[in-house]
Amino acid sequence: MVPVVEFKNVSRVYGDPASSESMVKALDRVSFEVVKGEFVAITGPSGSGKSTLLHLIGLMDRQSAGEIFVDGINTKNLSDNKLAKLRNEKIGLVFQQFNLLRATPAIVNVELPLVYRGISASGRHEIAKNELIKVGLGDRLQNRPSQLSGGQQQRVAIARALVTNPSLLLADEPTGNLDSKTGEEIIKLFEDLHEGGVTIILVSHDPNIARRAKRQVVIKDGRIANGHS
Amino acid sequence: MDTVELVRSAARAIRTNKTRSALTTLGIIIGVAAVILLVSIGNGLQAFVTEEFESLGSNVLLISPGKVSFSGGPPRNVEAKFDFSDVRQMGDLGDPIVKVSGMISKGATMKYRSKTYFGNLAGVGEEYLEFGNVEIEAGKFFSRSMLERSQMVGVIGHKVYEELFGGVGNPVGREIDVTGSKVEVIGKLKEKGGGLGGNSDENSFVLMPVTTAMKVTGIKKPAAVMVRIRDADSAAAASRKIKNYFYRKNLTDDDFTILEPKELLESITSFLGVVTGALSGIAAISLVVGGIGIANIMLVSVTERTREIGLRKALGATNRDILLQFLIESILLSVVGGGVGIGIGWGISAILRQFIETAVTAGSVMMAFGVSAGVGIVSGLAPAVRASRLDPIEALRYE
């Protein structure tokens, strides 16, 4: 079976390539893979390279060396536009800060990825509505983010991430901005989604959150610390 | 991302900051309204002038003594080097010249009982009426025989009637004093409407037989000659005939000017066109200022919405999607401003129409609309490009 995400000796170096002293190696020859239906946590101390890894998995950044495959597609030589399209189709992103459009109703926020996919207004509305019902916000379609609680806002963001039916749900510290009770609800939602077959990668520095995943990838100083992927 | 969704999301963004959007478009609103208004006044003025000239008839030539130039300085009062016998002989030059009428004019003090009015005395031929400039309202115009006998008769204009007779009663048969001579009023002219005011038109005239006027004023030479020709197309032929007549009398081009109303009209309308253009140009400067305002606000908006841009890119927006989003927002702002400006300009022009002639043309509306859309594109481009180039990771981190 083709892995959903596959990293082969991926490095990411920041700084001026002309002077080797100013170079910072954020990721150093990282290899791992995530197969369909997995629930993986990427964890590690701050500055370990978690965020860099997240950005590369989310196709928002490009590696300095190595190869990244998403659903078997090598992303190395894709143009920016192709990468944006792939991101739209394959990856559903959930952020710590929710990142919802403030003045915009929940349903329109959820519709947003479908807008860039070119789906008609009526089609979008239907799909987004179903997605919001699934995360338990069927009665909050027209509410703006400011009229929703933190947990509800994160649910809207999860609905937005899932609305394109992506191959991978990629969450960056999804409970970091929530109290522990609400955070627990969100983690529960992730577990339910995992039960339903959604492939999830969750990035968190919190071991208690990471432990809830079925597999942990610990990253330290830009390398995978728990040896095996 | 389809166009409908782009416009919808732009409208949403504009509505989010209502006050700011309204203030931003104010520059465009004022600029467009000013352009529409000024062009409508210019067009109205042109229409008015054209109408006036057409009432004079396109089959009339005017001969003026001396050289009249439109480009430099006011016309000088030059004594003609030709006289009324020349006017008579020009009348016999034949086709396409139909009729020739000479006139003299001078400022004149008119008195009736205790009333005094400073108007103009004009000496004309009995055929003056046939040129269609004036119409008789009461009494009659003077006849050929009255002219031949230099009778002391006069036909007064409406203003003269109002000033001397208070605008009441029949002036026909009364005797008025014109620069010290007793003149019998034999007719009154119909009021000439639509003028720009002042003392230059026939309303302020007392029209007298040219022979009488020469006696009263001491002027011997004609101040102007009107030539009726067969039709507008024969103007050049008629003008050549008149020139040749003058050349035979050893006059040069400096001694007379032949004005064709058509030509005159063209030079006046082109002059008005230039004035209108210049005024609109000045008004258009405020459009440029408005455009800078939009560019400024769009730059602020891009900075404020950095995270939004990052998010949109993370969700799959391409650089082009982001570019179009901000560009359409800027175009929408300025086109809405343009629309409102057109409405306001139109409204003020409609109000002004009660006092002066104005005309809002489809052309000026379309131009204003096009210009405001153009302003939107130009002023939105730099901010939109900046937005589209943002790095999604950096943008998402932006606080």
Domain count for chain A: 1
Tokens 């982001």 belong to B322
Q: Position B117: which residue type?
A: Y
Q: Is residue A15 part of a domain?
A: no
Its pTM stands at 0.70
So what's the pLDDT on residue B197? 44
Helices A121-134 and A106-117: angle between axes, nearest 10 degrees: 130
- C-beta separation of B59 from B229 below 8 A: yes
* CA-wise closest residue to B291 among B202, B384, B381: B381
So what's the pLDDT on residue B228? 85
Give the gap in angstroms from C-alpha A144 to the nearest C-alpha of chain B: 12
Q: Is B2 in Cβ contact with A80 (below 8 Å)?
A: no
- C-beta separation of B30 from B338 below 8 A: no
* CA-wise closest residue to A91 among A130, A56, A134, A141: A56
Q: What is the DSSP letter of B131?
A: G
Same domain as B238, residue B129: yes
Provide the pLDDT confidence category of residue A229 given band limits of 50, 70 and 90: very low
Q: For chain B, list residues with pLDDT below 50.
A: 72-74, 195-199
- C-beta separation of A87 from A58 below 8 A: yes
Pairing of strands A215-220, A39-43: parallel
Give the gap in angstroms from C-alpha A160 to the nearest C-alpha of chain B: 9
Give the gap in angstroms from C-alpha A106 to the nearest C-alpha of chain B: 14
Range of the domain at B352: 3-50+274-397
As beta bridge partners, residue A220 has: A223
Q: Which of B12, B320, B393 sits opposite A61 (nearest CB)?
A: B393
So what's the pLDDT on residue B200? 54
Q: Is residue A71 part of a domain?
A: no
Mean pLDDT for all residues in chain A: 91
Q: Is B312 in Cβ contact with A116 (below 8 Å)?
A: yes
For the sheet with A73-74, list strands across it: A24-34, A5-14, A65-70, A73-74
Q: Cβ contacts of residue B243 below 8 Å, gap of 6+?
A: B258
- C-beta separation of B12 from A99 below 8 A: no
Q: Is residue B81 part of a domain?
A: yes
Q: Is residue B117 part of a domain?
A: yes
Query: Judging by beta carbons within 10 Å of its beta carbon (0-12, 13-18, 19+), is residue A117 exposed, middle or buried?
Result: middle
CA atoms of A33 and A17, how far apart (whole Å): 28
So what's the pLDDT on residue B325? 92
CA atoms of B67 and A169, how far apart (whole Å): 91
Provide the pLDDT confidence category of residue A68 given band limits of 50, 70 and 90: very high
Same domain as B84, residue B38: no
Question: Which chain B residues touch A if contact means CB-CB below 8 Å?
Answer: 1-2, 4-5, 9, 12, 16, 307-308, 310-321, 392-393, 396
- Residue B4 CB neighbours (<10 A): 10
From A109, which residue of chain B is nearest by alpha-carbon distance? B312
Range of the domain at A116: 35-62+81-225
C-beta pairs of B302-308 under 8 Å, 24+ apart in sequence:
B302/B326, B302/B383, B302/B384, B302/B386, B302/B387, B305/B387, B306/B390, B306/B395, B306/B398, B307/A99, B307/B395, B307/B396, B307/B398, B308/A101
Q: Which of B257, B292, B315 is the last residue of a domain?
A: B257
Q: Is residue A68 part of a domain?
A: no
CA atoms of B16 and B10, how far apart (whole Å): 10
Distances (CA, A) of A72 to A6, A54, A118, A215: 8, 18, 24, 21
Same domain as B134, residue B46: no
List, as ranges, residues 195-214 from A with C-beta within 8 Å of B: none
Same domain as B291, residue B168: no
Q: Is residue B262 part of a domain?
A: no
Same domain as B242, residue B205: yes
Same domain as B73, residue B40: no
- C-beta separation of B3 from B251 below 8 A: no
Residue A109 confidence (pLDDT) above 90: yes
Q: Is A88 in Cβ contact with B396 (below 8 Å)?
A: no
So what's the pLDDT on residue B196? 46
Query: Does residue A112 sit at the B interface (CB-CB below 8 Å)?
Result: yes
From B14, which residue of chain A is nearest by alpha-carbon distance? A103
Q: Is residue A30 part of a domain?
A: no
pLDDT above 90 coverage of chain A, percent: 79
Give the gap in angstroms from C-alpha B377 to the nearest C-alpha of chain A: 23
Q: Is residue A211 part of a domain?
A: yes
**Which of A116, A120, A160, A203 should we substitute to test contact with B (largest number of B Cβ atoms within 10 Å)?**
A116
From A79, which residue of chain B is nearest by alpha-carbon distance? B318
Same domain as B294, residue B169: no
Q: Is residue B179 part of a domain?
A: yes
Domain count for chain B: 2
Q: Is A60 in Cβ contact with B393 (below 8 Å)?
A: yes
Q: Is residue B64 part of a domain?
A: yes
* CA-wise closest residue to B372 among B336, B318, B325: B336
Same domain as B245, residue B134: yes
Same domain as B66, residue B28: no
**Cβ contacts from A onto B, under 8 A:** 59
So what's the pLDDT on residue B75? 52
Q: Is A60 in Cβ contact with B314 (below 8 Å)?
A: yes
Q: Is residue A177 part of a domain?
A: yes
Q: Position A133: which residue type?
A: I
Strand segments, DSSP code E, in A35-189 are 39-43, 65-70, 73-74, 91-94, 168-172
Take residue B57 and report the two structure tokens written for it: 């008839």
CATH value at residue A188? 3.40.50.300
Same domain as B66, residue B153: yes
Q: Is residue B371 part of a domain?
A: yes
Q: Is A80 in Cβ contact with B318 (below 8 Å)?
A: yes
Take residue B15 and report the two structure tokens written for it: 């509505």
Q: Is the peptide bond before B65 cis (omega within 30 degrees of 0)?
A: no
Same domain as B287, residue B177: no
So what's the pLDDT on residue B287? 83
Q: Is residue A96 part of a domain?
A: yes
Q: Is residue B264 part of a domain?
A: no
Q: Is residue A24 part of a domain?
A: no
**Residue pLDDT, tens place only, A77-91:** 999 999 999 999 999
Q: Is residue B266 part of a domain?
A: no
Query: Judging by beta carbons within 10 Å of its beta carbon (0-12, 13-18, 19+), is residue B299 exposed, middle or buried?
Result: middle
Residue A132 confidence (pLDDT) above 50: yes
